[in-house]
Structures are given as C-alpha cells and as structure tokens.
C-alpha cells in the first residue's frame, strides 16, 4: 500500500509515475472541487485517464466517487448543495453520494438533473458500491440488508425526472 499526498508538496518525486505503478487507486471524501483542481494543477487529471485506460482500478467514496464522473452534487462550495461540473469525465453523466443519509441530496439531484445543471446519472445510498467496467455499470453491491440501493436518475425532454432503482446484490457477511 502507498499514499500520495500533495500538501504541503507531493510526497513522491513523480506523482504520475507513482499512480501508474498502482493496481488500485482509492480516493477518499472531502471537497471534490478542491481535489480535482489540485489534481489538474499537478497534471494528475491526465495521469488518472492514463491509469484508467491501462486498466488500473479507480474507486472512491463521496467526493472520491464524484470525481470520476462529468458532474455531481457537492457541498464543496458551502452548506448548500450545488452542481459540480468539472469532474474528470472518465464515467459519463453525474453522480450523487449519500442519497439516503443526507435529506437534501435526493431533491437536489432531481432539481439539478431536471433543470439541466448536471446531466442525468447515478445516485447511491451509503455503503453501496457501483462497479463500472469501462463506462458501463456492471454491478451494484452493498453490505446492508435494509434495501439500500443505487438509482438511475434520468430526465425526459420536458424536464421530468425519473428515478429507477438498480438491482443491488447484498454481500454475505
């Protein structure tokens, strides 16, 4: 295991090479706007795309999941959830984490997709993992037994938003 820190300066001599030596890259939560801006400053947006194209597994939680998409819902700019539209775009569409645990997430996702602020996309309850192969959803899993799931959030030509649950496999404990 390794850790790549960028503050106060990069923890490795060549961050790009370091990323490309990994089998798996896991990004934690925080401010998606700040993490992506810092990555772009260091050229890591290009390195992440290269890693993805090489088949290195990329994953994350919360902001660390939003970053792989084109857009998402974020509290990076303050208490109110706002659209984030500067994602890395490795996965098409938008993403909303904490769908069941933060009461403002669901209505905000619906509003932002409905008004076109962010593209249609995906949402996931806490402790639900979405596995994409290339840019297609392959499977959704959770360790929760209370019906936790992921959802496809779409918009029709009139702006009406639909939410479709995705089949979710419960992992054995």
CB 165, CB 128: distance < 8 Å: no
How far is the C-alpha of 111 from the C-alpha of 121, rounded, in Å?
13
Burial of 121 (0-12, 13-18, 19+ CB in 10 A): buried
Active site residues: 62, 98
Burial of 68 (0-12, 13-18, 19+ CB in 10 A): buried
């Amino acid at each position: 295991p390794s850790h790549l820190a960028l503050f106060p300066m990069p923890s490795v001599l060549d961050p790009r090479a370091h990323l490309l030596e990994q089998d798996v890259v896991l990004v934690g939560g925080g401010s998606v706007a700040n993490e992506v801006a810092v990555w772009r400053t260091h050229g890591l947006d290009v390195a992440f795309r290269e890693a993805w194209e090489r088949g290195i597994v990329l994953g994350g939680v919360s902001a660390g999941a939003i970053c792989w998409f084109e857009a998402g819902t974020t509290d990076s700019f303050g208490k109110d959830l706002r659209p984030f539209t500067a994602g890395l775009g490795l996965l098409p569409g938008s993403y909303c984490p904490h769908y069941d645990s933060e009461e403002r997430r669901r209505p905000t996702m619906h509003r932002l997709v409905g008004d076109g602020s962010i593209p249609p996309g995906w949402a996931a309850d806490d402790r639900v993992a979405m596995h994409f192969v290339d840019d297609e959803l392959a499977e959704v899993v959770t360790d929760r037994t209370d019906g936790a799931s992921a959802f496809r959030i779409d918009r029709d030509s009139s702006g009406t938003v639909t939410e479709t649950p995705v089949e979710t496999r419960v992992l054995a404990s």
